[in-house]
Amino acid sequence: MPDLLSEIVFFVLRPSNFLVLLLFGGLACLLVGWKWVGFAFVALGTLGFVVAGFAPLSTLLLHPLEERYQRGEPPPGGPTGILVFGGAIDASIVRTRQIPELTDGADRIVAVADLARRYPAALVAISNGPPPPDGKVGNAQFAARLLESFGVARDRIRIEDRAASTWQNAIFLKDLLKPEAGQSWIVVTSAWHMPRTMGVMEKAGWTGLVPYPVDYRTPGGDSPYGWSRSMGGGLYKTNLAVREWLSLIAYYMTGKSPALVPGPDD
């Protein structure tokens, strides 16, 4: 029930959905004769689409998250393992076509394959959600197959396919791998997702974590804030940013993260 409630909240508060509801609410008000309220809702909805779709709102929200962690280096002996948290396999395509279709988070899988080549003694652990209820192969298994096709030996790969959230990623991977003091683990995930991931893992009792952010959505540099060239692209990034900030707030308020926006000093 809590997961269902959170999904409903995220659905309503997702900027693109919320703005559509605002426009429909305005039109409904106009139809019943509430002209000023209706005009206000329509004007706010229209302005919201312009700001969320074209203005640098998404980069203003994503850039501080992506700059929070820089790529670290494992100790001289190399890492014990390389951890990757989902996000690279398109679940809907996998469920119907049963082929490993990559999403725009594919940098995660590419980075893991590269790290596995650089550190041939390291384990590779994938945490990528539960398999479909119809018994078909799930995302984590397809990600493992993809890594095998890139040359990663199957006996190095560990699969965690129960987690349905970042908190469960951290807990279930810990149960699977049983990390010990003095070990080193490279954490691969999207740069905007890295603060929540690191905070959750540290809260779950992990140590020796080495962040390896990938899948950047902002250009960085001296001028990272620019206007979007398409409303669709801007809305997509704004949806992504708002969901991540809402998740950060929820994790902090429920004690699953040590800080609102975890960082290296936490």
Full DSSP string of 152-220: --GGGEEEE----SHHHHHHHHHHHH---TT--EEEEEEGGGHHHHHHHHHHTT--SEEEEEE---S--
d(CA 36, CA 38): 5
d(CA 94, CA 102): 9
Can you give the pLDDT at residue 28?
Answer: 94
Can you give the pLDDT at residue 229?
Answer: 82
The amino acid at residue 26 is G
Element (H, E) at 126: strand 123-127
Q: What integer best gives the mean pLDDT of the chain?
A: 88
Q: Are residues 1 and 229 in contact, defined by beta-carbon separation less than 8 angstroms? A: no
User: HSE of 76 in the Cβ direction (CA atoms, 13 Å)?
Assistant: 0
Can you give the pLDDT at residue 1?
Answer: 44
pTM exceeds 0.75, yes or no: yes
The amino acid at residue 212 is Y
List all residues 6 or more positions away from 246 whose beta carbon is below 8 Å from its beta carbon: 9, 10, 13
- Convert the pLDDT of each residue in 108-160 to its tens digit: 989 999 999 999 999 999 987 665 555 555 678 888 888 988 899 999 999 98
Is the pLDDT higher at 92 or at 181? 181
- pLDDT for residue 21 is more than 50: yes
Show the domains of the chain with their CATH numbers: 2-65+228-253 (no CATH), 71-214 (3.40.50.620)
Tell me the residue length of the chain: 266
- pLDDT for residue 208 is more than 90: yes
- Convert the pLDDT of each residue in 45-76 to its tens digit: 999 999 999 989 999 999 999 999 999 998 88
